[in-house]
Amino acid sequence: MKVTLADYSGFCFGVTKAINTAFDEINRNRDKANYSLGPLIHNPQVVKSLEDEGVRIIEDLNDIKEGNVIIRSHGVPEEIYRIAEEKQLNVIDTTCPFVRRIQKIVKEYCDKDFQIAIIGNPHHPEVIGINGWCYNRAVIIQEPGDIERINKDQKLCVVVQTTMSLTKYRELIELLKDKVKEIEIFDTICHATKQRQDAAKKLAGEVDAMIVIGGSNSSNTQKLVAICKEVKPESTFHVEGVEELDIEALRSYERVGVTAGASTPIWVINEIIEALKNIN
Ligand code: SF4
């Protein structure tokens, strides 16, 4: 079996920064309890290593009275910083700078009386966090039908979840342009996401089967699965780790491509590549 790893697989700049910051700060602050508000990134192996370092995941700041709290790479609503300050918690902020930029845009334009539209998944923490920087007033647009909720008489500012698929984004932007008279569009899809999606699509066209590695709650991993399935509907496999590889199903393929979401550690990718090479 010939195994090829797609370009731009594994940790992106934002995730690397978040992990380094979190581990450095934990090591410097061992005298206090360490908490993470939600999982740091969407990867079970990384979350487990943080837990092994004594970091407890909490869902609500009201569950703690003191200590260090890690803000996840996906960012959080503005209100969380206010609550943390009131409680005198030490904030370890690992929000990705690309997400921080979106938060600043929506705050600025909301204050200038623009209606805010976020193209993305309303249940994703990044989108929930961004909405929290414009008083939770944004219209979240995931499907064309959501555009009905836009007020056509108000100026509109549009931002996009960093991991949104380009095709979907372009489709929704065209519909939004027809809906309102004045529109400011910020293409905030992360460059790392674009590169990764293009490389995965290209590789999927050159192999017999694709393996996509990443957490099942990871948005960019799910997008990679969808993109690879467009090219290889019957032979795209999503796994979180080596133990999920379906060896029997893979045995019949000669050329296998591998890609991985932005929060997948390199050692998980290497383990899977080794296992694939050992199949025949
Ligand atoms: S995918 Fe992009 S936006 Fe998301 S954490 Fe990585 S660098 Fe930041």
Instruction: Give the pLDDT score at 131.
Output: 98
User: In the 8-state DSSP scheme, what is residue 53?
Assistant: T
- What is the chain's mean pLDDT, rounded? 94
Above 80 in pLDDT, residue 280?
no
Question: What is the CATH number that goes with domain 2-10+191-277?
Answer: 3.40.1010.20
Confidence of residue 167 (pLDDT cuts 50, 70, 90): confident
Tell me the CA–centroid distance for residue 152 and ligand 1, in Å.
32
CA distance 200 to 196: 6
* Separation in Å, CA 189 to CA 99, 197, 244: 10, 11, 30
CA distance 219 to 42: 8
CA distance 125 to 107: 17
Instruction: Give the pLDDT score at 213.
Output: 96
CA distance 133 to 16: 25
Above 90 in pLDDT, residue 41?
no
Question: What is the CATH number that goes with domain 13-95?
Answer: 3.40.50.11270
Report domain extents, the chain: 2-10+191-277, 13-95, 98-185
Instruction: Give the pLDDT score at 152.
Output: 94
pTM of the model: 0.86
Query: Which residue lies with its CA nearest to atom 6 of ligand 1?
Result: 14
Above 80 in pLDDT, residue 150?
yes
Identified catalytic residue from 78, 108, 126, 184? 126
Choices 3.40.1010.20, 3.40.190.10, 3.40.50.920, 3.20.20.140: CATH for 98-185: 3.40.1010.20
For 169-215, the pLDDT digits (tens) are 999 999 999 999 999 999 999 988 889 999 999 999 999 999 999 99
Spell out a b/e string for 233-242, using b for 16 or more CB atoms within 10 Å of the CB, else e: eebbbbbbeb
Check if 2-10+191-277 and 13-95 are the same fold. Answer: no
